[in-house]
């Protein structure tokens, strides 16, 4: 039961009344008069839109705007990641410099979620949209003039902040399309649509590049952002409740935690590229991130109304949720790094990978539909567990790949992973929200930060860890293969002769032909070493999936048995409410 007390100034938290204690808790005062909504129209919390009943044409319009916003929010960074070699070539960048372009987007995007939730609560959805979307449109337009590396980095950084705004709006619009009665299904669809940008970028990039090189990519993104701005202006979200939530120490926490998260993201994004122990700045960045995080948590731990509930984050249930959420995102790297990296190592380009990503797109759509159609309170946990099972199956299917493997050989495994990736997000988010709301609505900010960090860092840690292991294994396999390449061996000598004959028409010198044949054979050995290393990655990912599945099943069964065997008395229930 929410209660309101007399207060001369609004406070930035909402608490639940503790049963049996007679405690009257103060709730924040609204910044504007609250309309007399019917019960089904009331917003779920401040910062969210109200949920009036819409006609079917209006619902379809909200759904269409949500799809447009979802595509726009992720397509920009997906296009950059997909076409990074082309962009590097145009700007004259090294691989290390090029890797900063997608990395800096994520570094800013992670930090943006610290304040955006409270921005919506205090300043309203309309201002939130009217500021976020014009910034995004302006940034995408600046892409067309990003002819220098510093300008490209600046544009990607601002895009990371604006992209967080657009993705939030996309989910809000999709919830309006489904209505309050089917909010769970709307959440599943809204979050699932955010994952279709990557396969769409691979499908659209070859055609866009043919029209006008890399500038066409940015022109397309700019057009989408302007369409989003027009759509949001024409079809506005219903009003919500505005409350005063910001305090001065919120900005101190942001100034400490935002650079800490950015440094963690930089280390994970660049560690494998520049190598973890080769660059001193990686160690200093890691130390700086830990110190800043500790300082931010110290500030929050001793605040009356903290932005982040440090005590709640330290509970066993919250830690288990964070590990599980990050673990699922980590093992999904079998697709983003494993399968894609394997095929690109074998020389597959965007044209050859188009059918591959068409299958991935179909899998995401199927996963969204399957999750939404079967979504209810009883299927939330089974959907999450099924996602882990599908990832494990796909990983073991890919572990026997060879140098003759082509994209069509991975259609089944990648379809399964795509279904899993689309299926787990909505149920996982709902489980976390329910867990946070048990303690009060003001715990949502902490949960939003926890969820976004777990997903972002899980997505970064997967390629970083798996890529590091893959490089280690590739070097070991290369050493083993090259150790057996004895030129005096008749089989090896015959192979060298065959390799040298390939250049017989352009090289008359037999010594040069032999040298070129030896180099060609070394390349083949490296390719085979990479194939074996990726197979190890697929096997490792499958084993990690089974570990995560076993760990999840253990806790699910433990909690089920606990709930079944223990029926709390009224006094125990009151004590539990007070403790929470």
Nearest CA among 276, 315, 304 for reference residue 464? 276
Q: Span 52-247: which CATH code? A: 1.20.1250.20
pLDDT value of position 389: 93
pLDDT in tens, 139-154: 777 767 766 788 778 8
> What is the C-alpha separation between 27 and 574, in angstroms, rounded?
21
Burial class from Cβ neighbours inside 10 Å (0-12, 13-18, 19+) for residue 133 reads buried
Residue 342: name the closest of 534, 139, 562, 74 by CA.
534
CB 276 within 8 Å of CB 282:
yes
To the nearest 10°, report the CA torsion of 64, 49, 317, 427: -20
- In CATH terms, the fold of domain 307-580 is Growth Hormone; Chain: A; (1.20.1250)
| Model confidence band, residue 393 (pLDDT cutoffs 50, 70, 90) | very high
The residue among 208 and 299 whose pLDDT is bigger is 299
The DSSP element (H or E) to which 86 belongs, if any, is helix 84-91
* Residue 368: its H or E element: helix 350-373
Which among 74-78, 328-332, 509-513 has the top mean pLDDT?
A: 328-332
- Left, alpha or beta for 347 (phi > 0: left; psi -120 to 50: alpha)? left
Which tens digits make up the pLDDT trace of 44-56?
Answer: 777 778 778 888 8
Rounded mean pLDDT of the chain? 78
By the 8 A CB rule, do 537 and 338 touch? Answer: yes
87, 80 in Cβ contact below 8 A? yes
3-state secondary structure of 205: helix
Q: How far apart are CA 390 and CA 363, in angstroms?
A: 12
Residues, the chain, total? 580
**Segment among 270-274, 517-521, 545-549 with least mean pLDDT:** 517-521
% pLDDT > 90, the chain: 10
End-to-end CA distance of the chain: 14
Q: Which part of the chain is CATH 1.20.1250.20? A: 52-247
Check pLDDT > 50 for residue 577: no
């Amino acid at each position: 039961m929410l209660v309101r007390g007399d207060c001369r100034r609004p406070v930035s938290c909402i608490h639940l009344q503790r049963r049996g204690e007679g405690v009257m808790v103060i709730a924040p005062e609204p910044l504007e008069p609250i309309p007399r909504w019917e019960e089904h129209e009331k917003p779920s919390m401040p910062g969210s839109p109200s949920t009036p009943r819409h006609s079917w044409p209006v619902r379809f319009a909200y759904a269409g705007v949500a799809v447009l916003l979802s595509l726009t929010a992720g397509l920009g960074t997906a296009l950059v990641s997909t076409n990074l070699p082309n962009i590097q070539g145009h700007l004259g960048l090294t691989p290390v410099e090029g890797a900063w372009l997608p990395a800096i987007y994520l570094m800013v995007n992670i930090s943006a979620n610290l304040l955006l939730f409270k921005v919506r609560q205090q300043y309203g959805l309309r201002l939130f949209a009217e500021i976020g979307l014009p910034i995004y449109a302006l940034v995408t337009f600046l892409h067309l003039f990003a002819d220098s590396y510093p300008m490209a980095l600046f544009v990607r950084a601002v895009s990371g902040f604006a992209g967080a705004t657009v993705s939030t709006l996309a989910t809000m619009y999709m919830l309006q399309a489904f209505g309050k009665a089917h909010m769970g299904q709307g959440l599943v669809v809204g979050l699932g649509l955010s994952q279709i940008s990557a396969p769409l970028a691979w499908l659209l990039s070859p055609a866009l590049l043919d029209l006008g090189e890399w500038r066409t990519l940015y022109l397309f993104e700019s057009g989408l952002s302007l369409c989003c701005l027009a759509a949001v202006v024409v079809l506005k979200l219903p009003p919500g409740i505005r409350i005063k939530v910001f305090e001065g120490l919120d900005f101190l926490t942001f100034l400490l935690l935002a650079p800490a998260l950015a440094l963690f993201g930089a280390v994970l994004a660049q560690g494998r590229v520049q190598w973890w122990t080769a660059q001193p700045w990686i160690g200093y960045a890691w130390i700086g991130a830990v110190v800043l995080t500790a300082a931010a948590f110290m500030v929050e731990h001793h605040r009356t109304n903290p932005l982040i509930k440090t005590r709640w984050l330290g509970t066993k249930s919250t830690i288990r949720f964070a590990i599980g959420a990050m673990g699922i995102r980590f093992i999904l790297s079998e697709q983003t790094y494993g399968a894609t990296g394997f095929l690109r190592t074998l020389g597959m380009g965007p044209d050859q990978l188009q059918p591959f990503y068409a299958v991935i797109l179909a899998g995401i759509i199927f996963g969204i539909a399957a999750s939404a159609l079967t979504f209810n309170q009883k299927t939330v946990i089974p959907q999450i567990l099924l996602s882990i099972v599908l990832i494990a199956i796909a990983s073991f299917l890919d572990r026997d790949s060879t140098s003759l493997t082509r994209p069509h050989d991975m259609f089944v495994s990648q379809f399964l992973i795509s279904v899993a990736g689309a299926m787990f997000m909505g149920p996982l988010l709902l489980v976390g929200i329910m867990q946070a709301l048990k303690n009060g609505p003001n715990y949502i900010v902490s949960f939003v930060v926890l969820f976004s960090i777990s997903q972002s860092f899980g997505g970064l840690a997967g390629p970083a860890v798996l890529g590091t292991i893959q490089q280690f294994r590739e070097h070991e396999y290369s050493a083993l293969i090259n150790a057996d390449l004895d030129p005096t061996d008749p089989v090896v000598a015959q192979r060298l002769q065959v390799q040298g004959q390939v250049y017989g028409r352009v090289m008359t010198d037999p010594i040069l032909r032999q040298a070129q044949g030896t180099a060609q054979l070394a390349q083949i050995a490296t390719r085979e070493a990479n194939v074996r290393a990726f197979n190890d990655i697929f096997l490792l990912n499958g084993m990690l999936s089974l570990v995560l599945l076993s760990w999840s099943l253990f806790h699910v069964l433990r909690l089920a048995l606990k709930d079944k065997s223990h029926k709390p008395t009224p006094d125990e229930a009151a004590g539990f409410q007070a403790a929470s």
